[in-house]
């Protein structure tokens, strides 16, 4: 009996000790690769020799030359080969255009400037977009269905034949079916998104299950009875196969639903580009949304085509990206100050796409006018990849020469390559303009530079990561997600702490570690740039260095709130409004 009691006591003690012991972390620290490089360099890459050496004495190529090893890594980011090859062609065309601009062909080139609006050809149903699409751009058609119409469709096409967006609208006795997809030469057609969705509402292929795009549902559907109007204006009720209580099952709000197109009567379809995806309205009401996919981004669109069983009455593309007319007095006020010859307090690297002319001008007129920026204590530079459109590149080149604040990247601006921009910012802040702190932000973010400086002066300058920190997050394993990460890319269930991408600050020692790690090929490339920085900082910590993570809830990842330090998703108009409120009311007050 005593022996049994002793055994029970030992077992009980073991269980207690086990329960009290700390549980193992679901995120093992990333390998610091102490034994040497984790990858190697390829001897060459198609198109790379056309990009190097960069243009001599160009202030827009200061970090260009130092990026070459990153492009040659055998474990390069997805899309690197295509991004380099297409950039090589873009660079060749740009250098020819720049040479021509200095000759008698300047007048001809002036006629190729980006236009804010273009009209489509009503006979062919086609419209050529001179400089692609950007946020807020819209394509609007007014048409009439032909007698016995079965369907019509619209395609947004890239310069190399890729289908950035295909929308197919089928008309039948059972109602209207909208199908959306994209196509690239490398991947073919992606997964079709349908409205109304095929299958049960709760199924994985249901558009109702997808996350909202710019706050809008993927499918604006009235489940149950759907209404189709015929030419004689009789109303036919078609009973859907969805359960009436789908709303309580899925947790979605009520979706209105009357996709009303009457045969023989004019109707209006508008496709517009948001921050996160394309949206379609019919007769002024939102119907469908389609999130941007990799290699299917709005700036790629070179041509739009409407076709099918409809007669076009009007076809207009407006709010297109366009650069401003040059006013030299205005340029003198907005031009970047010369780079300081001593260490600067803060470098701000701004991610921007080539045709985002209006966004860059809005930043130059607002928070880039802080005294700290104008004096050179804070240096701001736009980091921008080349565009596949020759006119955009020419406008971008002119802009870079005028304002002196653009750093061109030796690749085309695909989303999968933005991590290379992060490394480029670190290179710029450690090798080109030595900075005590390095900040990354986006061209649709309003940054209160004075508050950032104030916070940094109160912080420990060693091993600093400052921003809105995500301490507990896991990879997206859904292949349909823009942020999908496979287990091969990241095998762990959780990420290390990372700062949300619209804006964060790192100290100089971390930036130097990032640059050195990629020079020595000991750091992993990761396509989500903000998470990548968190992974690299974890490796910095694993190397025995001190890390100081400071989170600030005033960095707003989505939108704006009072007393903000950073407000994201701000249009050029809102940027100007925020700046005016700061100057007149001396408080961080949002405009919408």
First-residue to last-residue Cα distance in the chain: 76
Let me know whether 308 and 348 are in one domain: no
Start-end of H helices in 244-353 = 246-250, 328-334
Confidence of residue 413 (pLDDT cuts 50, 70, 90): very high
Please give the structure tokens belonging to residue 521: 């090929």
Rounded to an integer, the average pLDDT of 261-271 is 86
231 inside domain: yes
**DSSP state letter for 429:** I
4 inside domain: no
Confidence of residue 235 (pLDDT cuts 50, 70, 90): very low
Whole-model pTM: value is 0.82
Provide, rounded to the nearest whole percent, the portion of the chain with pLDDT above 70: 83
Q: Are 364 and 335 in contact (CB under 8 A)?
A: no
Of the ranges 4-13, 275-284, 437-446, the best mean pLDDT one: 437-446
Paired strand residues for 183:
163, 189
Q: Report, in this order, helix, strand and coil percent for the chain, each rounded to 5.
A: 30, 25, 45
Let me know whether 422 and 452 are in one domain: yes
Q: Is the pLDDT of residue 322 over 90?
A: no
Q: How many CB atoms lie within 10 A of CB 22?
A: 5
Let me know whether 352 and 314 are in one domain: no
Rounded to an integer, the average pLDDT of 299-307 is 92
Sign of the CA dihedral running 229, 235, 238, 240: positive
Let me know whether 233 and 124 are in one domain: yes
Q: Is 324 exposed, middle or buried (0-12, 13-18, 19+ CB in 10 A)?
A: exposed
Q: Compute the C-alpha angle 76/542/538, nearest 5°.
A: 55
Interatomic CA distance for residues 454 and 91, integer angstroms: 41
43 inside domain: no
Structure confidence at residue 209 (pLDDT): 58
Structure confidence at residue 429 (pLDDT): 97
Q: Is 36 exposed, middle or buried (0-12, 13-18, 19+ CB in 10 A)?
A: exposed
Q: What are the residues whose beta carbons fall under 8 Å from the beta carbon of 242, sequence distance 6 or more? A: 196, 200, 201, 223, 224
Backbone φ and ψ for 144, nearest 5 degrees, come out as -130, 130
9 inside domain: no
CA dihedral 423, 427, 433, 439 (to 10 degrees): 20
212 inside domain: yes
573 inside domain: no
Let me know whether 358 and 406 are in one domain: yes
Please give the structure tokens belonging to residue 305: 């085509």
Interatomic CA distance for residues 590 and 148, integer angstroms: 51
Let me know whether 215 and 339 are in one domain: no
584 inside domain: no
Q: How many CB atoms lie within 10 A of CB 401?
A: 13
Confidence of residue 556 (pLDDT cuts 50, 70, 90): very high
Q: Is the peptide bond before 109 cis (omega within 30 degrees of 0)?
A: no
**DSSP state letter for 22:** P
Q: Is the pLDDT of residue 104 over 80?
A: no
> What CATH number does the domain containing 451 carry?
3.90.550.10
Between helices 529-542 and 508-519, what is the axis angle to 10°? 90
Structure confidence at residue 361 (pLDDT): 96
Confidence of residue 91 (pLDDT cuts 50, 70, 90): very high
Confidence of residue 147 (pLDDT cuts 50, 70, 90): confident
Structure confidence at residue 385 (pLDDT): 97
What is the overall mean pLDDT for the chain?
Answer: 84
DSSP string, 52-102: -SPPTT-TT-TTTGGGHHHHTBTTPPTTHHHHHHHHHHHHHHHHHHHHHHT
Give the closest residue to 440 by CA, choosing from 364, 515, 381. Answer: 381
Let me know whether 461 and 417 are in one domain: yes
Q: What are the residues whose beta carbons fall under 8 Å from the beta carbon of 436, sequence distance 6 or more? A: 343, 344, 345, 346, 461, 507, 508
Structure confidence at residue 109 (pLDDT): 47
Q: Is the peptide bond before 68 cis (omega within 30 degrees of 0)?
A: no
Let me know whether 396 and 515 are in one domain: yes
Q: Is the pLDDT of residue 225 over 70?
A: no
Interatomic CA distance for residues 520 and 304, integer angstroms: 45
Number of domains in the chain: 2
Q: Is 444 exposed, middle or buried (0-12, 13-18, 19+ CB in 10 A)?
A: buried
Interatomic CA distance for residues 498 and 465, integer angstroms: 8
Q: Out of 318, 349, 369, pick the residue that ends a domain.
A: 318
User: What domain range is 311 assigned to?
Assistant: 118-318
Let me know whether 438 and 309 are in one domain: no
> What CATH number does the domain containing 312 carry?
2.60.120.200
Let me know whether 78 and 223 are in one domain: no
Backbone φ and ψ for 574, nearest 5 degrees, come out as -70, -35
Q: Out of 318, 334, 368, pick the residue that ends a domain.
A: 318
Between helices 572-585 and 357-365, what is the axis angle to 10°? 10
Looking at per-residue pLDDT, the higher value among 329 and 206 belongs to 329
Instruction: Indicate the range of 120-129, 198-207, 497-506, 570-579 predicted with least confidence.
Output: 198-207
Interatomic CA distance for residues 493 and 256, integer angstroms: 38
**DSSP state letter for 219:** B
Q: Is the pLDDT of residue 387 over 80?
A: yes
Please give the structure tokens belonging to residue 481: 């997600």
Provide, rounded to the nearest whole percent, the portion of the chain with pLDDT above 90: 63
Pairing of strands 285-291, 310-318: unpaired
124 inside domain: yes
Q: Out of 272, 287, 318, pick the residue that ends a domain.
A: 318
Let me know whether 551 and 441 are in one domain: yes
What is the Cα Rg of the chain in Å? Answer: 27
Q: How many CB atoms lie within 10 A of CB 458?
A: 7
Name the 3-class secondary structure at 320.
Answer: coil
Instruction: Indicate the range of 77-91, 290-304, 488-502 predicted with least confidence.
Output: 290-304
Confidence of residue 35 (pLDDT cuts 50, 70, 90): low
Rounded to an integer, the average pLDDT of 107-125 is 77
Let me know whether 529 and 396 are in one domain: yes
Rounded to an integer, the average pLDDT of 455-459 is 96
Question: Which runs of E-coded beta strand occur in 356-508?
Answer: 378-386, 406-412, 435-442, 446-447, 464-470, 498-507
Structure confidence at residue 90 (pLDDT): 95
């Amino acid at each position: 009996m005593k022996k049994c009691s002793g055994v029970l006591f030992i077992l009980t003690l073991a269980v207690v000790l086990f329960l009290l012991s700390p549980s193992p972390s679901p995120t093992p620290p990333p390998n610091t690769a102490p034994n040497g490089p984790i990858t190697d360099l390829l001897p060459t890459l198609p198109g790379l020799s056309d990009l190097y050496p960069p243009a001599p004495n160009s202030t827009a190529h200061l970090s260009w030359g130092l990026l070459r090893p990153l492009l040659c890594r055998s474990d390069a980011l997805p899309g690197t080969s295509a991004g380099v090859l297409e950039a090589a062609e873009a660079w060749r065309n740009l250098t020819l255009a720049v040479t021509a601009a200095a000759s008698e062909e300047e007048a001809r080139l002036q006629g190729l400037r980006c236009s804010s609006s273009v009209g489509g050809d009503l006979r062919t149903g086609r419209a050529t977009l001179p400089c692609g699409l950007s946020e807020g751009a819209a394509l609007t058609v007014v048409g009439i269905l032909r007698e016995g119409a079965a369907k019509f469709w619209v395609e947004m096409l890239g310069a190399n034949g890729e289908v950035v967006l295909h929308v197919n609208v089928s008309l039948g006795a059972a109602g209207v079916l909208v199908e959306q997809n994209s196509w690239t030469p490398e991947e073919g057609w992606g997964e079709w998104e349908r409205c109304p969705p095929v299958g049960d509402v709760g199924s994985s292929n249901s558009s109702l299950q997808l996350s909202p795009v710019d706050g809008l549902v993927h499918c604006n559907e009235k489940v149950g009875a759907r209404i189709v109007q015929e030419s004689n204006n009789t109303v036919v009720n078609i009973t859907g196969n969805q359960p009436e209580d789908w709303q309580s099952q899925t947790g979605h709000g009520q979706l209105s639903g009357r996709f009303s197109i009457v045969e023989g009567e004019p109707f209006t379809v508008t496709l517009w580009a948001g921050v996160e995806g394309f949206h379609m309205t019919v007769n002024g009401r939102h119907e469908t949304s389609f999130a941007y996919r990799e290699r299917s981004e709005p700036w790629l669109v070179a041509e739009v085509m409407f076709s099918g069983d409809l007669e076009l009455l009007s076809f207009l593309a407006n709010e297109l990206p366009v650069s401003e007319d040059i006013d030299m007095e205005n340029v003198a006020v907005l031009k970047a100050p010369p780079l300081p010859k001593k260490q600067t307090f803060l470098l701000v690297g701004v991610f921007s796409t080539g045709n985002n002319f209006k966004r860059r001008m809005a930043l130059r007129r607002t928070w880039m006018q802080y005294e700290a920026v104008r004096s050179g204590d804070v240096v701001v530079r736009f980091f921008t990849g080349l565009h596949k459109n020759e006119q955009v590149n020419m406008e971008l080149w002119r802009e870079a020469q005028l304002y002196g604040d653009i750093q061109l990247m030796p690749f085309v601006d695909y989303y999968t390559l933005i991590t290379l921009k992060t490394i480029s910012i670190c290179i710029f802040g450690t090798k080109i303009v030595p900075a005590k702190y390095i900040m990354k932000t986006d061209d649709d973010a309003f940054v209160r530079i004075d508050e950032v400086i104030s916070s940094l002066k109160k912080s420990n300058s060693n091993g600093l990561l400052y921003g809105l920190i995500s301490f507990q997050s896991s990879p997206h394993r859904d292949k349909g997600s823009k942020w999908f990460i496979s287990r091969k890319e990241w095998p762990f269930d959780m990420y290390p702490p990372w700062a949300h991408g619209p804006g964060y600050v790192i100290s100089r020692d971390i930036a130097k570690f990032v640059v050195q790690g990629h020079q020595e090929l000991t750091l992993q490339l990761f396509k989500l740039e903000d998470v990548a920085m968190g992974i690299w900082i974890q490796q910095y910590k694993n190397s025995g260095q001190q890390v100081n993570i400071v989170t600030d809830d005033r960095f707003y990842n989505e939108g704006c709130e009072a007393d903000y330090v950073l407000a994201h998703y701000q249009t050029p108009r809102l940027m100007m409004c925020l700046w005016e409120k700061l100057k007149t009311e001396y408080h961080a007050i949002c405009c919408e």
